[in-house]
Amino acid sequence: MLRIPESENTRGQAETSGDKLIPLLEERNRVRELIKMIESKKDEVAEEVLQRVKTDYELRLENIDREIRCQAKNFECTLQDYRDLVRRLEEADKLAVRSLEELKVRHALGEYTAEEYEKIGVEKKSKIDYYRKKIKSYRLNMERLQNVLSQLDVV
């Protein structure tokens, strides 16, 4: 059975889609089983009757598949958003690391007192920590979304 992992996402989009997705996947499996059951009755029921019932369930299955594809598209959009966020956070992290290196050089040149250097350094390290935690969180969410997408069996 497919399970949508818990997510720390900031927009809530994937969680909402996940809430809709599980019942859809369960319903798809149920309808597929019913179609198999209908097909197994082919020697017991008139072909015309069987075909009408089977067509009805195939239409239901098509509608469910269409909704699953829509939810998968939402996941893919959210995944792309995470990729963009991670890219921007990685760029910000690189800039913050360079800024910290620059601070060290400027302190060594006497532009900052030890107290100023310490205070500014703590702030810069805090930013770097923040960026890295966010990157880790978004990557984890990306991995979860990719896992879900790989299990969808979307036509």
Does the pTM of the predicted model rise above 0.85? no
pLDDT reading at 3 higher than 90 = no
CA distance 95 to 100: 9
Residues 97-109: tens digit of each pLDDT: 999 999 999 999 9
3 by Cβ neighbours in 10 Å (0-12 / 13-18 / 19+) ranks as exposed
State the number of CA atoms in the 13 A half-sphere of 109 facing the CB: 7
CA distance 71 to 32: 19
Q: Rounded to the nearest 5 degrees, what angle is found at the Cα of 132, between the Cα atoms of 144 and 12? A: 40
SS3 category, 107: helix
